[in-house]
Amino acid sequence: MKLQWTADLSVSNDRIDKEHQRWIELFNNFYNGIAEGRPKEKLEELILGMLDYTKYHFKSEEEYMRSVNYPGLAEHQESHNAFIKRVEEFHQKITSGKLILSLEVTNFLKIWLIDHIKGSDLQYARFAQNK
Ligand SMILES: [Fe+2]
Ligand SMILES: [Fe+2]
């Protein structure tokens, strides 16, 4: 199943909401690539694109959390780093042929994306709003 950005995912910051929308779009492209049986090289390209954008988004978000003096920054950053590590592992395993892209991989990404936005990102949003 593809993902959709909905208003309940809003962190009340335009820039970051747009980034989350783009992030979800990149995930959907990757998901479609698997569903359409695209060649391995294409899927590698898609996962790499998603990884690059994830890094960009995390940096941007961490900057925002810093700017509002969010006390949960360090913990949040750890969660970001763990995710990047995981996706880098996926990418390596795919490149070396040790992992076949499957719905299991996309399921992990999908659940993580949504859980992270709803669980962690909305926490700094609430904090920033109550300041
Ligand atoms: Fe985050
Ligand atoms: Fe985020």
Ligand 1 centre and the CA of 58: distance in Å?
Answer: 6
Per-residue pLDDT band for 40 (boundaries 50, 70, 90) equals confident
**Structure tokens that stand for 127 in this block:** 């904090």
Class level of CATH domain 12-129:
mainly alpha
Rounded distance from Cα 100 to ligand 2 centre (Å):
27
pLDDT at position 9 is: 97
Ligand that lies nearest to the alpha carbon of residue 82, given by its number in the listed order: 1
Residue 2: pLDDT band with limits 50, 70, 90: confident
Structure-block tokens of residue 17: 């909401």
Ligand whose nearest atom lies closest to the CA of 57: 2
pLDDT of residue 1: 66
> Using CA atoms, how far apart are residues 50 and 30, in angstroms rounded to an integer?
8
**Cα 44 to chain centroid, rounded:** 16
Q: Which two tokens stand for residue 79?
A: 């969660």
User: What values do phi and psi take at 2, rounded to 5?
Assistant: -80, 165
Q: Is-contact 55 84, C-beta < 8 A?
A: yes
Q: What is the distance in A from the centroid of ligand 1 to the CA of 26?
A: 16
Give per-residue pLDDT as tens, 5-24.
999 999 999 999 999 999 99
CA of 28 to the centre of ligand 2 (A): 16
CA–CA gap between residue 26 and residue 30 (Å, rounded):
6
Residues whose CB falls within 8 Å of the CB of residue 22, separated by 6 or more in sequence, listed in order: 53, 57
User: Which pLDDT tens digit goes with each residue over 63-112?
Assistant: 999 999 999 999 999 999 999 999 999 888 888 888 777 777 888 999 99
Would you say 94 and 34 are in contact if contact means Cβ atoms under 8 Å apart? no
Cα of 123 to ligand 1 centre, how many Å?
10
Q: Which residue has the tokens 């913990």?
A: 75
Q: What is the pTM of this model?
A: 0.93
Selection from 3, 43, 39, 6 nearest residue 23 by Cα? 3
- Residues with CB under 5 Å of ion ligand 2 are 61, 121
What's the gap between Cα 120 and its chain centre? 12
Tokens of 126: 């609430």
